[in-house]
Structure 1
Amino acid sequence: MFGVIRRWSLGPLAVLLLGGCMMQKEHDRIMGLEQARFGAAAEQHRQEMAAAQAQIMTLQNEMMELKKTLAERDQQLAEAATAYAALEKKLDDATALNEQLRLTLERAGKSVDQLVAQKGDLAKALEDTKARLEELRKAQEAAQKRAALYQQLLAKFKGMIDAGDLSIVVRNGRMVLQLRNDVLFDSGKVSLKGEGEVALREVAKVLATLDDRDFQVAGHTDNVPISTDRFPSNWELSTARAVNVVKFLEGEGVKPSLLSAAGYGEYDPVASNDVADGKAKNRRIEIVLQPNLSELVKIPGLGGE
Structure 2
Amino acid sequence: MPAARARRRESRIDYWPGFVDAMATLLLVIIFLLTVFMLSQFFLTREISGKDTALQKLNAQVAELTELLALERTGKRELEDQLDTVRSGLALLELEKQKLLGQVDEKAGAATSASGTVQALTGKLDEEKQISNRALSQVELLNQQIAALRRQIAALESALDVSETRDRESQNKIADLGKRLNVALAQRVQELQRYRSDFFGRLREILGNRSDIRVVGDRFVFQSEVLFQAGQETINDAGRADLDKLASAILELDRQIPPEVNWTLRVDGHTDIRPTSGASRFRSNWELSAARAISVVRYLIDRGVSPKRLVAAGFGEFQPIEEGATEDAYAKNRRIEIRMTDR
Q: TM-score scaled by structure 1?
A: 0.51
Higher helix content, 1 or 2: 2
Query: Percent sequence identity over matched residues?
Result: 30
Gaps of 5+ in 1: 1-108, 293-305
- Aligned residue runs from structure 1 range 53-202, under 5 A: 116=162, 119-120=165-166, 122-159=168-205, 160=207, 162-170=209-217, 175-202=218-245
Structure number, greater radius of gyration: 2
2:196, 2:340 within 8 Å by CA — same for their partners in 1?
Answer: no
* Runs of 4 or more consecutive aligned structure 1 residues displaced over 6 Å after TM superposition: 111-115
Give the corresponding residue for 1:260.
311
Q: Find the residue that maps to 1:163 and give its secondary structure.
A: coil
Amino acid in the other structure paired with 2:271 = T
Cα contact 2:269–2:316 (8 A) shared by 1: yes
What is the rounded CA distance, in whole Å, between the counterparts of 2:193 and 2:161 in structure 1?
48
- 2:264 aligned with 1:221: no
Contact 1:226 1:232 (8 Å CA) reproduced: yes
Q: Contact conserved, 1:218 with 1:262, CA < 8 A, in 2? A: yes
C-alpha distance in 2 between matches for 1:150 and 1:290? 9
C-alpha displacement of 1:176: 2.8
1:205 aligned to 2:248? yes
**Matches of 2:201 and 2:314, distance apart in 1:** 29
Asked if 1 retains the 8 angstrom alpha-carbon contact of 2:269 and 2:293, the reply is yes
- Looking at structure 1, the residues matched to 239 and 211 of structure 2 have their Cα atoms a distance apart, in angstroms, of 13
CA separation of 1:253 and 1:165: change in aligned 2, threshold 3 A:
farther
- The worse-fitting range, judged by mean Cα deviation, of 196-205 and 141-150 is 141-150
- Find the residue that maps to 2:244 and give its secondary structure: helix
CA distance in 2, matches of 1:255, 1:121: 45
In the aligned structure 2, how far is the partner of 1:252 from the partner of 1:165? Answer: 23
Q: Return the letter of the residue paired with 2:192.
A: R
Residue aligning to 1:231: 282
The verdict on how the C-alpha distance between 1:260 and 1:164 changes in structure 2, with shifts beyond 3 A counting, is same
Deviation at 1:169, TM superposition (A): 4.1
Distance 1:225 1:265 in 2: 10
Q: Distance in 1 between matches of 2:334 and 2:298?
A: 20
Q: Deviations over 1:82-117 (max 9, x none)?
A: xxxxxxxxxxxxxxxxxxxxxxxxxxx9x8789757
2:322/2:329 contact within 8 Å kept:
yes
Q: In structure 1, what is the equivalent of residue 30 of structure 2?
A: none
**Larger relative contact order, structure 1 or 2 (CA cutoff 8 Å, min sep 6):** 1
What is the deviation of 1:270? 2.1
SS in structure 2 at match of 1:162: coil
1:266 CA displacement: 0.8
The answer to whether the aligner puts 1:288 opposite 2:339 as a matched pair is yes
Partner of 1:88: none
Is the Cα contact below 8 Å between 2:286 and 2:315 reproduced in 1?
A: yes
Distance across 1 between alignment mates of 2:195 and 2:342: 12
Instruction: Give the conservation status (yes or no) of the 8 Å contact 2:267–2:311.
Output: yes
Q: 2: CA distance between counterparts of 1:268 and 1:179? A: 15
Q: 2:295 — aligned with what? A: 244
Partner of 1:288, secondary structure, is strand
Structure 2 counterpart of 1:38: none
TM-score if structure 2 supplies the norm length?
Answer: 0.46
Query: Shift in Å at residue 240 of structure 1?
Result: 1.9
- 2:274, 2:219 → 1: CA distance? 24
What's the Cα RMSD here?
2.8
State the number of aligned residues: 180
Change (3 A) 1:112 1:252: closer
Retained in 2: the 8 A contact 1:223–1:273?
no
Aligned-partner SS, 1:237: helix
Structure 2, unaligned runs of 5 or more: 1-153, 255-261
Post-superposition offset of 1:122: 3.8
The separation in 1 between residues aligned to 2:231 and 2:335, in whole angstroms, is: 13
* Contact residue 213 and residue 289 of structure 1 kept, 8 A: yes
1:274 aligns with 2:325: yes
